[in-house]
Structure formats: C-alpha cells, structure tokens
Amino acid sequence: MNKKKIIFSGIQPSGELHIGHYIGAIEQWIKLQNENNCIFSIVDYHAITVNHDPELLKKRSLEICKLYIAMGIDPEKSIIFKQSDISAHTELSWIFNCKGCYMSDLKKMTQFKDKAGDKQELVSVGLFNYPVLMAADILLYDTDIVPVGEDQKQHVELTRDIAKRFNHQFGQTFKVPEVMVKKEGARVMSLSDPYKKMSKSEANKNSYIALLDAPDVARKKIKKAVSDSGSGIYYLPDEKPAISNLLSIYAFLGNREIKRLEKDYKDVGYGDFKNDLADIVIKFLEKFQDKYSQISDSQAEEILEKGKEKAKAIAEKKLEEVKRVIGVK
C-alpha cells in the first residue's frame, strides 16, 4: 500500500477568490484529500506584503475558510489553518532569510518583478522576500507535494533549493517537496485581457468571476468578456486567446471535451456561446454558494482554532529541530 503523502497549499486573503482559484488549485485539493494528509492554509501574512485594510483582511480570512469548506475541503480529513496563528512560520522564514536563500534568487522571481513593476525600490521588503515565507510554510510540515497554479511553480522550485542548501549545510532536516501543476487549467486568463492571468488583485472586477458572485453578476461579466476579432469558436490560444480561455473554462466547469465544444458550437455566434457558458458557470456557483451561506463566522473560527492546534504541533516540532541544528537551542 502506498504511504499517504503530505500535501500543503495556501491562498492569500487579499481579494475575492475566483474561478481561477478553483480550476487551478482548489479542485485538485478536494481530490487529493481522500488519499493523503492535506494541510490548507490561509496565508494572511503574505497578504500584508502590499497595502491592506485590516478589517477586510480579517473578513476575507474567514470567507476563505468558509469557501474551502463549502467547496468540499473536509475539516475532518484536512487541516485548515491561518498562517499568522502559528509563529513557527515567521520564525523559520527568518532563519531561511539567513540560511539557504540569496538575494540573487529573489531578484529572479517573476511574480516580484510583475508586482513591483517599475517601483522595485519603493515596495515593501516583505514583497521581495515573500517566497522565503512561502518556503517556511511548506518545509515546516515535511510536505511531499505542493499543488498550485502555474504562477507559483517558480516559488516552489526556490523552496526546493532552500531545502537542499539547508540540508547540505546542516544535515538532513527538510524533505524536498515536489510541485504539482495541472496540465489543463493551471492558468485561467482574465476576462478583460486574455494575455493576463485572472487575478483577484485586479481593480476591474469584470476581469474575474468571483466564487461568491451572484448569478446575474456572473452572467453580465461573461457577456462583457472580450472576444477575439472575427468569428468562430475555436481553441487556438495564439490566434484566439479570449475565446480559447472561455472554451477552457466551459470545458472544465461543464466537464466537456474542448474538441466536442468546437463541434457543438461550429456555426454559433459569440453571443449564444457566452449565454451557454454563463449557464454552466452559474450552475457551478450555485452548487456551493448555498452551503457557503449556511456556515457561520463562529463555525469557521472554530474550524480554524482546531486546525491551528493540529498544525502547531507539527510545525513547532520541526522548528525545534531546526533551532537545534543551527545552534540557537
């Protein structure tokens, strides 16, 4: 029998979760939890690397916890916890800031370059070394697999390097984790600009379908989604990036083959195609929004409290070991 693997992943409470989070990450988490030991975090210390509103941060953390549960993460099977509840994360992150990670590593991170843009000298130091905290999140739990969307692959690769370098210098301490990125759906694109990733930090809310969007809002957003010039519903990401993205979303949420959709929509215009896509998206949203509304804040708080106790025991044991090997204990 295969030994159960340890799975770790997380989402920042920095905006509204959207269908890209489900398609790229959460859908595989739900499947993985049946055969493995899964730990899913709400990484609130990552969310303060940019400007944030304290009240909203608290609200969003609970919102994500409720969404995890409503979508099918079972708190009896998986650990759900808030990163800031366990100080071992920030402690280990400091140790990695000193051991295992170099300035040159962080300067290569494409997400930092994207987020900082031409203001690299003006953004917070936290935004720069945020992958170090992410490495601490992952390595504290002897994680085997990190299921994430495409954009996080580079951060997990850096995590692997940090683990290897630390082990090399101080002896075997950390398991070197594998990244798990889906073949399809690992990068859902924006509805208003198909060359950009669908993102919760985008000011234009029409660029994403939030998991908590009301049905009529979702339909309007799909109707407004940019299409490509010309006509025809074909999956040609280079020539028709907008329609290809919509086709991918349709195929994923509607559980249909893209080839089949191309056939079915051969002589259909963009308007009718979008209407059908809206039906599929709304059906998907309704499946968990009902359940979401039945979970109270205090239930979510209780789940996070229980998750904290379970995760803390694991994290603190690992941190103790690290402290011993580096000579502070």
Choose which of 52, 115, 175, 187 interacts with ligand AMP (CB under 6 A). Answer: 187
HSE toward the beta carbon, residue 300, CA cutoff 13 A: 22
Of residues 5 and 220, the one with the C-beta less far from ligand TRP: 5
Instruction: Tell which residue, 238, 224, 301, has the closest CA to residue 42.
Output: 301
Kindly identify the residues of this chain, within the stretch 138-167, that bind ligand TRP according to CB under 6 A: 138, 146, 148, 152, 155
Q: Which two tokens stand for residue 67?
A: 């969404």
Q: By CB under 6 A, tell whether 52 contacts ligand AMP.
A: no
> Contact 244/237 with Cβ under 8 angstroms?
yes
> Is 115 an annotated catalytic residue?
yes
CB of 100 to ligand TRP, least distance (A): 16
- Kindly indicate which of the ranges 197-205, 217-225, 266-274, 291-299 contains the residues binding ligand AMP, using the contact rule CB under 6 A: 197-205
Choose which of 12, 49, 93, 207 interacts with ligand TRP (CB under 6 A). Answer: 12
CB of 137 to ligand TRP, least distance (A): 4
Residue 144 contacts which entry, ligand TRP, ligand AMP, none (Cβ below 5-8 A, type-dependent): none
> Contact 106/131 with Cβ under 8 angstroms?
yes
CB of 204 to ligand TRP, least distance (A): 20
CB of 16 to ligand AMP, least distance (A): 10
Amino acid at 165: R
DSSP per residue, 170-212: H-S-S--PEEE--SSSSSPBPSS-TTSB--TT-S-GGGS-BTT
Of residues 46 and 160, the one with the C-beta less far from ligand TRP: 46
Choose which of 151, 193, 262, 279 interacts with ligand AMP (CB under 6 A). Answer: 151
Vertex 273: Cα angle to 267 and 279 (nearest 5): 145
Q: By CB under 6 A, tell whether 9 contacts ligand TRP.
A: yes
> Contact 235/262 with Cβ under 8 angstroms?
yes
> Contact 146/178 with Cβ under 8 angstroms?
yes
Which residues, other chains included, contact 226 with Cβ-Cβ below 8 Å and sequence gap of 6+? Answer: 191, 192, 193, 194, 242
Choose which of 38, 64, 80, 134 interacts with ligand TRP (CB under 6 A). Answer: 134
Residue 65 contacts which entry, ligand AMP, ligand TRP, none (Cβ below 5-8 A, type-dependent): none
For residue 79, what is the enclosing H or E element?
A: strand 79-82
Active site residues: 115, 197, 200
Residues that bind ligand AMP (CB under 6 A): 11-12, 20-21, 23-25, 148-149, 151-152, 186-188, 197-198, 200
